[in-house]
Structure 1
């Protein structure tokens, strides 16, 4: 891998006695690279990869797969410093604090008290002392 150009060098060797056709295909929707190599010769082909994406590169000869490699171009991250501690000796605190737990408990208690008050008030509110409908006996 050559950074920052994100180019990969592929070297092809023909050990046979005649010209051979080859094809280099990639999984990143780029067009295939066809070519021909002479007898007893070596050819180098440069292909460019996308940044931070895994790309499967395969070399074919006579519609047969010769070799496949999965490559990733991390040229932007190549200059980054390695992490200082791998793995960390102590995990960071990620749960709720004690104050949050008390606030949730107080909210639940207040909701229960409000429900009890509404239930009690609903039982006494519609009462009326005067009689709205006449009794069947008095009529």
Structure 2
């Protein structure tokens, strides 16, 4: 190939590379620009819970989030655009916990919280009041009566069985010409 043709091809390639081309469109749907995460530093007493508040800006999609407490997944979900979502996370009284919030497309935020609720009774859910007889007493009575009944049946069966066996064969006292009571019985 002559040198002139080679120079012409190089010039053509350089001139085409200088032409501006439109940028490629992104394949990912646009999400909200940012989700703000706010975690209480101290747990509220007497429930010993901290509030994790997730706030999304207007526009975009619904990003997923996952909340971890000390490495264990607690809850997950989505945050709608322009909405605020608050999750209450339990922290053991007198302890601290590491709360990690992972948001799709944004990364992970880690917070350390502490519960100063010492010596308080913590109720995680609604409990019904105790009514009626004690269940422990009823279970003990049912077990005792079952044992007495079983013992009585074993005592009775032991007195009835094994019966004595006769020393000689059983003889049927009937006349030889009489009709047999059990015709299929071999004697």
Greater fraction of residues in strand: 1
Greater C-alpha radius of gyration? 2
- TM-score for both structures, normalised by structure 2: 0.37
